């Protein structure tokens, strides 16, 4: 720049040069923003690669999980039927006991004496009856010979009947005394696990006292009480009547049990629809399932979930959850790659979640390829290349399908 140029002019020129430089840089940036993406619009660019799964129709087992809690099959609170001193406890707390097993021995001496007295009274009554019978038999021919009056015979017959009644009464007393003596051996009414003993040796107990001596709980089998809205119960009953639910007997359905830690109980049970009532406050119904409990794993009060097998859909389509999105209306959609390797957007109708997949009843068909990875990089109508990852999502069904296609 010439030294002779005034300083004011030099400033104007410098500003003009800076503006030209800024405009050139802005033009370059704008041009770079409009450069086509690497694969979207550039002619000859390779199509976007996406991961797809190939859908195949397969039998799908439909289940419903119901929350519940375990309940003992039977509970017996053992109480004494006679009073006395407890001489011995004949079981170990917490162990299994059998029905009829003696648990406590109450002092039997008073009851043995009462039985002996009743037996003696019975013997006396029988002797009196024998004498009355002999007298009546002797009077009958004498009446015919007019040796005695009819009144004497009637008196003898009445005495015989009184003695027979005394014998019957004495027999009842003997039976009662024998029952009371037997009650001094307190037995278990059911088979099950014994609880904590309420008394020790030397304790005084009374007949039908309020405090139980011990509680016996039968744990095999065991109940699982589950609650569900009454509308669901009506649906389950209709499905059972219509044959959609597999029956395990009269009005019963097979059930699997999911324990508190998420593990599956190794023995199947039966859901019983009988003896249900609707809670008027909540509108829920308590159902009762019964499970075998041979190893004693299930204890009363445990929280569980009962998995009820509703039926089997013979030609079900399961779509991974990664392949299903929702539009602005909340409707489920999926991206499908058609036979021309172009993307199609499909609206779906879903039934329920089955594990990590959705059971789809409309919108896709057997053999469709659903995009499960790369959804953000493609749009409807775009040409793509695919990588089939069906085996990663359906290992068992993919192997079976490949075996069917392999000659």
Q: Report mean pLDDT in 10-residue bins for the chain, 407 residues.
A: 53 59 54 43 70 87 84 95 95 93 96 97 95 92 87 91 95 97 96 94 92 94 87 74 60 81 89 72 84 90 86 81 88 90 89 84 88 85 87 71 55
Residues 233 and 282 in one domain: yes
The phi, psi pair for 205, rounded to 5°, reads -120, 160
* Spatial separation of the C-alpha atoms in residues 279 and 276, rounded to whole Å: 10
**Residue ending a domain, choose from 285, 313, 341:** 313
| CB-CB neighbours of 371 under 10 Å | 22
What is the domain extent for residue 115? 108-183
Residues 178 and 195 in one domain: no
* Predicted TM-score of the model (pTM): 0.62
Please, are residues 308 and 289 in contact by the beta-carbon 8 Å criterion? no
Domain holding 126: CATH number?
1.10.287.470
Please, are residues 308 and 288 in contact by the beta-carbon 8 Å criterion? no
Residues 201 and 232 in one domain: no
Domain holding 95: CATH number?
2.40.50.100
Please, are residues 125 and 163 in contact by the beta-carbon 8 Å criterion? yes
Tell me if residue 331 falls in helix, strand or coil. coil
What is the per-residue pLDDT for 35?
A: 42
10 located within any domain: no
Residues 161 and 253 in one domain: no
Domain holding 297: CATH number?
2.40.30.170
What is the per-residue pLDDT for 65?
A: 82
167 located within any domain: yes
The total domain count for the chain is 4
Torsion sign (Cα): 192, 198, 202, 207: negative
| CB-CB neighbours of 332 under 10 Å | 17
Tell me if residue 88 falls in helix, strand or coil. strand
Quote the tokens at residue 1.
């720049």
Residues 93 and 164 in one domain: no
Over its C-alpha atoms, the chain yields an Rg (Å, rounded) of 45
Quote the tokens at residue 374.
């790369």
Residues 132 and 244 in one domain: no
100 located within any domain: yes
Cα angle 140, 144, 147; round to 5 = 90
- How many C-alpha atoms does 20 have within 13 Å on its Cβ side? 6
What is the per-residue pLDDT for 275?
A: 57
* Spatial separation of the C-alpha atoms in residues 381 and 239, rounded to whole Å: 43
Residues 223 and 308 in one domain: yes
> For residue range 12-37, what is the model confidence (pLDDT) as tens digits?
656 656 656 655 555 544 444 444 44
Max intra-chain CA distance, the chain: 188
Residues 234 and 282 in one domain: yes
**Residue ending a domain, choose from 313, 333, 356:** 313
């Amino acid at each position: 720049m010439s030294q002779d140029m005034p300083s004011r002019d030099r400033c104007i020129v410098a500003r003009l040069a800076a503006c030209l430089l800024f405009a050139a840089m802005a033009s370059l940036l704008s041009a770079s923003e409009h450069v086509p993406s690497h694969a979207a619009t550039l002619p000859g660019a390779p199509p976007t690669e996406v991961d797809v799964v190939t859908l195949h129709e397969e039998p799908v087992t439909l289940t419903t999980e119901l929350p519940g809690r375990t309940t003992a099959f039977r509970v017996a609170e053992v109480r004494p039927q006679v009073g006395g001193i407890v001489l011995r406890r004949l079981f170990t707390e917490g162990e299994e006991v059998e029905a009829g097993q003696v648990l406590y021995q109450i002092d039997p001496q008073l009851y043995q004496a009462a039985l002996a007295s009743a037996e003696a009274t019975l013997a006396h009554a029988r002797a009196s009856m024998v004498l009355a019978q002999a007298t009546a038999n002797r009077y009958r021919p004498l009446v015919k010979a007019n040796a005695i009056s009819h009144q004497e015979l009637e008196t003898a017959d009445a005495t015989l009947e009184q003695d027979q009644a005394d014998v019957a009464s004495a027999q009842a007393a003997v039976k009662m005394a024998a029952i009371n003596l037997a009650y001094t051996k307190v037995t278990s009414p059911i088979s099950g696990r014994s609880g904590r003993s309420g008394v020790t040796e030397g304790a005084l107990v009374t007949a039908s006292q309020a405090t139980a001596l011990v509680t016996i709980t039968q744990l095999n089998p065991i109940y699982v009480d589950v609650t569900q809205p009454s509308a669901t119960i009506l649906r389950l009953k209709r499905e059972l009547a219509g044959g959609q639910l597999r029956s395990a007997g009269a009005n019963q359905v097979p059930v699997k049990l999911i324990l508190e830690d998420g593990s599956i109980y190794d023995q199947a049970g039966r859901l019983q629809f009988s003896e249900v009532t609707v809670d008027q406050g909540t509108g829920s119904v308590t159902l009762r399932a019964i499970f075998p409990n041979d190893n004693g794993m299930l204890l009363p009060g445990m929280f569980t979930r009962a998995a009820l097998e509703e039926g089997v859909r013979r030609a079900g389509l399961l779509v991974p959850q990664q392949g299903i999105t929702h539009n602005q209306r909340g409707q489920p959609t999926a991206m499908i790659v058609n036979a021309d390797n172009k993307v199609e957007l499909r609206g779906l109708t879903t039934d329920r979640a089955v594990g990590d997949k959705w059971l789809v009843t409309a919108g896709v068909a057997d053999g469709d390829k659903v995009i499960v990875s790369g959804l953000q990089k493609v749009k409807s109508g775009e040409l793509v290349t695919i990588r089939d990852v069906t085996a990663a999502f359906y290992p068992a069904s993919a192997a079976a399908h490949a075996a069917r296609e392999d000659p």
